[in-house]
Structure 1
Amino acid sequence: MNVISKRVRRLLQIVWLVIAAQSSVYAASSVPPPQSQFATVNGVKLHYLREGSGPAIILLHGYAENSHMWLPLIPELAKTHTVIAPDLRGAGGSDKPDAGYEKKAMAQDIHALVKSLGLKQVKVVGHDIGLMVAYAYAAQYPDEVDSIVLMDAFLPGVGDWTHVWLLHDLWHFNFYGETPLKLVAGRERIYFEHFWNDFAADRNHSIPEADRQFYTKSYAQPGGMRAGFEYFKAFPQDAIDFAEFAKTKLKMPMLVLTGEKASGTFLIEQARLVDDNVDGVVIKGSGHWLMEEATDQVVPKLVAFLNKP
């Protein structure tokens, strides 16, 4: 009975977090917030936001964030599309299993979710860890992806990937296991401040305070930090998988958006090694957190690209 009570309390906590986040973003708008839903696929329960109707767009978040990051974009895309923004395995309201954090496997989660919703052809957008999942999705299911967007990070195993900008901070890729988990327990905000501040062009114009509180509480859920560390622990296998994927170049249109003060042209160069139809744009003055640092530049570019037939 006690186990059931804990599960109920955890589910209520997740629902409260989602509702609170949506309410804060949509309070000043007449647009209704996206629906918060769950689906069990591929052996894992995934939480996702859904809004709109029409051709499907899948939005995949990055590390230190979850589906909440897409709230400013969802209303614009939902005018003409069905928008699905999942919490990846290990993040937000989704399950946090012990394994399955290779990006190839995480893409299979998302594909199973798409199929369960009766969708087939999709456009896929990914930021940070989400762009790795987006690429793995397109590489595994190329006939089901109409177009793809990669937003600021890198592709493990593609080209000269070990010299990417983000790897100047290599310590956190190896920061997992019992001791790191003990060090960050109750100090999650301190840990995430490093990413939100140092990966931004201006730490005072990065992730908003309300969002920092929301993400901290979300990752502080049982298993949240351990799962987040697993994203990085899987990079060596991701590099092997992506090097194999890259042997067959993609053909669908790809938009690459990067921060001038972050990935610069590196991700664009990588993208051209894996896709024959790449449009690369460096967002001037922005760091890694494109949606937050350069909303006015990024949202119109995404909408214009994703609205193309």
Structure 2
Amino acid sequence: MTFPSLKSLVGKSLAGKPIAGKLAAAAFVAIVSTAAPAAAQPATTTVAAQATGDAELVASLPGFRNADVTVNGVKLHYVIGGQGSPVILLPGWPETWWSWHKIMPELARTHTVIALDIRGMGQSDKPADGYEKKRLASDVHELVKALGYAKVDVVGHDIGSMVAFAYAANYPDATGKVVMLDVPHPDAELAKWPLLPTAGTFGDRIDEDHAYAWWFAFHQVKGLPEDLLAGRQDIEQRWFFRYLMKDESKIDARDRAVYAAAYAGRDAIRAGNAWYQAFPQDIIDDGTYATLGMPVLALGGPGYVWLKTTLERKATDLTAYKIAESGHFIAEEQPEKALKYITDFLK
């Protein structure tokens, strides 16, 4: 997912009406059609040449293993390794547990690390419903209990950051500390984001003061994204990596092959969009949550202002940092900085 910032979004309203699917789809088609010809074709040969399976990926991380657990009637895939107090790592769209691979080995020196594919992601099941962040948090809680833990620290990025907040809000007694990367939980302000960008501010790189999250609307549409993207999902992913990163090379060819393969099919695209389609219910749920009392760390790239100002209203023990020279994908773009902040915070 990702986010506007920010100053350009404050006080603007969509009058409570849903964004029209045709307008959102048109925006996506326009972006794809204006891409360079070489970038407009799926990188099928690159994907096919890469080892994208979880077995091959985990083999590159000594001390980690793949595992599955069935909770709430859904099979969840996770990767576990290390020793010490447990830390749950929750990824975001359009990625998988692999988005944490640059920090997992070092974090595992002092913690038992559990990197989870949430409901709808990677090798986890993709049911027809249950994509509200409260429900996803319930999945995490059941996983925690199945692993025999009474309390865990939770670290989330993007959609995973929303789930981390929902976990802490719904299961405070089972939460140690919370780390949220670049995105807060949906709240009433989300319904005020503008349909159109501010004139002259929308290009192929994010303007942090005028971020334009057109895909929030596009992903509300049911069926159409699957028709447009099945087998071509890497086109959309390449656009987002370019738009949201400071240095695109930090997500390399292998990483991209992993993420393209993970979202190749219609079910994967549908499930990923379902995280966005749950936002209206997430906003309702947010209105019922008490202020978080446990320590919360916010690490922001382009979404820093949005994340920090939101959490200042929702957490009593907040520490926030802007990660220099990082776009949205902090754990991959600046893993050393992210790791230091996270390990210092979790001590």
Please state which band the TM-score falls in when normalised by the shorter chain.
0.7 to 0.9
> Is there any run of 5+ residues in structure 1 with no aligned partner, and where?
1-14, 27-31
Unaligned runs of 5+ in 2: 1-50, 195-207
Match of 1:210 among 231, 254, 261: 254
Displacement of 1:22: 2.7
Q: Tell me: CA distance 1:207–1:16, structure 2 relative to 1, closer, same or farther (3 Å).
A: closer
Rounded Cα–Cα distance in structure 1 between residues aligned with 2:215 and 2:297:
30
Deviation at 1:97, TM superposition (A): 0.4
Match of 1:20 in 2: 56
Secondary structure, aligned partner of 2:53: helix
Alignment correspondent of 2:242: 197
Per the alignment, residue 155 of structure 2 pairs with 125
Using the TM superposition, give the Cα deviation of residue 93 of structure 1 relative to its aligned residue in structure 2, in angstroms.
0.8
Question: Which residue of the partner structure matches residue 322 of structure 2?
Answer: 282
What is the aligned counterpart of 1:265 among 301, 305, 327?
305
Partner SS for 1:292 = helix
Q: CA deviation at 1:269?
A: 1.3
Partner of 2:8: none
Given the two structures, how large is their TM-score scaled by the length of structure 1? Answer: 0.86
Amino acid of the residue matched to residue 92 of structure 1? G
Whole-Å Cα distance in 2 between the matches of residues 275 and 158 of structure 1?
16
**Match of 1:173, as an amino acid?**
A
Shift of 1:201: 2.3
The answer to which of 158-167 and 284-293 deviates more is 158-167
Change (3 A) 1:167 1:90: farther
Please give the alpha-carbon distance, in whole angstroms, between the structure 2 residues aligned to 1:133 and 1:167. 23
Match of 1:252 in 2: 294
Deviation at 1:56, TM superposition (A): 1.1
* 3-state SS of paired residue (2:75): strand
Shift of 1:78: 1.5
SS in 2 for 1:96: coil
CA–CA distance in 2 between the matches of 1:160 and 1:99? Answer: 22
Q: Deviations over 1:16-43 (max 9, x none)?
A: 71022234x44xxxxx141100001111
Q: What's the offset of the Cα at 1:158?
A: 5.4
1:238 matched to 2:282:
yes
CA contact (8 A) 1:196 1:206 kept: no
Query: What number of residue pairs does the alignment pair up?
Result: 282
Percentage identity across paired residues of the two chains: 39
Q: TM-score, normalised by structure 2?
A: 0.77
Shift of 1:300: 1.3
Aligned with 1:181 (options 219, 226, 230): 226
Matched, 1:76 2:109: no
Cα offset, 1:257, TM superposition: 0.1
RMSD: 2.0
The CA deviation at 1:162 is 3.9
Q: Secondary structure at the match of 2:304?
A: coil
User: CA offsets, 1:99-158, max 9 Å, x none?
Assistant: 000000000001011111111111000000000000000000111111100001232115
Cα distance in 2 for residues equivalent to 1:254 and 1:155: 13
Q: Residue 13 of structure 2 aligns with which residue? A: none
CA distance in 1, matches of 2:291, 2:120: 29
Residue 303 of structure 1 aligns to a residue whose secondary structure is helix
The Cα of 1:171 is off from its aligned counterpart by 3.6
Structure with greater contact order relative to length (CA < 8 Å, sep ≥ 6): 2
Query: 2:192, 2:80 → 1: CA distance?
Result: 36
CA distance in 1, matches of 2:100, 2:93: 13
Question: Deviation per CA, 1:43-87, whole angstroms, max 9, x where unpaired?
Answer: 100000111222111110011111111122222222222111110
- The counterpart of 2:122, out of the listed 75, 88, 92, is 92
Amino acid at match of 2:308: I
From the two aligned structures, give the one with the greater helix fraction.
1
Partners of 2:224 and 2:237 in 1: CA distance: 17
Would the aligned equivalents of 1:256 and 1:267 in 2 still touch at CA under 8 Å?
Answer: yes
Q: State the AA in 1 paired with 2:284.
A: I
Secondary structure of 2:286's aligned partner:
helix
